[in-house]
Amino acid sequence: MASQGDELSKRCPECNSEHLVRDYERGGELICNDCGMVVEDSFIDQGPEWRAFDSEQDDRRARTGSPMTFLSHDKGLATEISWSNKDYYGKRIPHKNRAQIYRVRKWHQRIRVSNAAERNLSMALQMLNDIGAKMGIPKDIKETAALIYRKAVEKNLIRGGRSIESIVCASIYAACRKVNLPRTLDEISKASDVNKKKIGKAYRHLAKELSLNLKPTTPYSYVAQFCNKLDLDKQAIVVSEEIVRKSIEAGISSGKGPTGVAAASIYIASVIVGKPRTQKEIARVSGVTEVTIRNRYKEISKILGIPGME
């Protein structure tokens, strides 16, 4: 199981939370308990895990009937063209023909690789569009995500088992962050059916290799979108933001996940404006646990001097 409290000096680079936990079941990954980002990889080589994930995906694809070759062009190549000096029937190829056969194979390989790359790209962009649509992401943010994805392809970052799906999701996550309309890993994970940790890892990889330099998110960036999802109006947003401001001034948000501070502020604001939402409802749209909302609520209500709201 995960243990916590042993990484007191570290903060999540994504949300500034100090609430980091080590998951010893997964080889000691350091995970942000607030936003779900994998802050540090496990001590153990990730190779076998990636491969297992890929074969899992292959199975899924095989079941749904879409071609497997999208995922790994090498696989198709390996089964189709043998690199030995034997022909299809296992007879040795005469020496004089070898050079020619080698050229044909080489040429065949190049075509296959470029076709596979194009197919991969078009599949990835289609996927990006679908996931973006599911999440209600506007066109310009999807374009930004596509640009980030293309850069990842150019820099050859989609390899070593890192699936296309997780890089697509990471591109969407990064694009939303870039325009300061962050979406939670939870939300992208739900829309894409890709594991949250895999998205987080792929994102960290992108951020590092493409030097994205995105600043940590703040509670403000989540207030409007969470309120919209809760069907709360402008007044609730304004009051929530005011509560966020007071929380930040009082130092409550320091080292705490921004989604938790936003969620608790909205909880209080919804009561103040007479449109109360339950902690459960807020937990659902924010991806923050009810326990975290309650903890932040207690801290914030203390500085606001509003007892007995629970």
Which amino acid is located at 3 in the chain?
S
14 binds Zn ion (CB under 5 A): yes
Q: Report yes or no: 73 and 112 within 8 Å, Cβ to Cβ.
A: yes
- Nearest residue to 82 (alpha-carbon basis) of 54, 100, 109: 109
- Please say which residue, 37 or 236, places its beta carbon nearer to Zn ion: 37
Residue 237 structure tokens: 């947003």
**Minimum distance between the CB of residue 173 and Zn ion, rounded to whole angstroms?**
12
- Please say which residue, 259 or 270, places its beta carbon nearer to Zn ion: 259
- Please say which residue, 132 or 287, places its beta carbon nearer to Zn ion: 287
292 binds Zn ion (CB under 5 A): no
Q: Please, which contacts does 100-105 make with residues 24 or more away whose CB atoms are closer than 8 Å?
A: 105/81
Query: Of 35, 38, 227, 285, which lies in the binding site for Zn ion, with binding defined by CB under 5 A?
Result: 35
15 binds Zn ion (CB under 5 A): yes
CA angle 169, 57, 20 (to 5 degrees): 50
Q: List residues bridging with 23 in a β-sheet.
A: 2, 29
d(CA 210, CA 206): 6
**Minimum distance between the CB of residue 181 and Zn ion, rounded to whole angstroms?**
17
What are the φ and ψ backbone dihedral angles of 270, each rounded to 5 degrees?
Answer: -65, -35
**Minimum distance between the CB of residue 236 and Zn ion, rounded to whole angstroms?**
25
- Please say which residue, 58 or 186, places its beta carbon nearer to Zn ion: 186
- Please say which residue, 17 or 189, places its beta carbon nearer to Zn ion: 17
d(CA 26, CA 13): 21
32 binds Zn ion (CB under 5 A): yes
Contact region with Zn ion (CB under 5 A), list: 13-21, 62-70, 80-88, 128-136: 13-21
Q: Report yes or no: 265 and 299 within 8 Å, Cβ to Cβ.
A: no
- Please say which residue, 6 or 130, places its beta carbon nearer to Zn ion: 6
**Minimum distance between the CB of residue 12 and Zn ion, rounded to whole angstroms?**
3
Q: Report yes or no: 157 and 209 within 8 Å, Cβ to Cβ.
A: yes
User: Considering only residues 36-55, where is the footprint of Zn ion by CB under 5 A?
Assistant: 37
17 binds Zn ion (CB under 5 A): yes
d(CA 190, CA 285): 12
21 binds Zn ion (CB under 5 A): no
- Please say which residue, 27 or 216, places its beta carbon nearer to Zn ion: 216
218 binds Zn ion (CB under 5 A): no
User: Helix (H, G, I), strand (E, B), or coil: what is residue 42?
Assistant: coil
> CA torsion 267→269→270→276, rounded to 10°?
70
**Minimum distance between the CB of residue 296 and Zn ion, rounded to whole angstroms?**
15
Where along the sequence are the contacts to Zn ion (CB under 5 A)? 12, 14-15, 17, 32, 34-35, 37
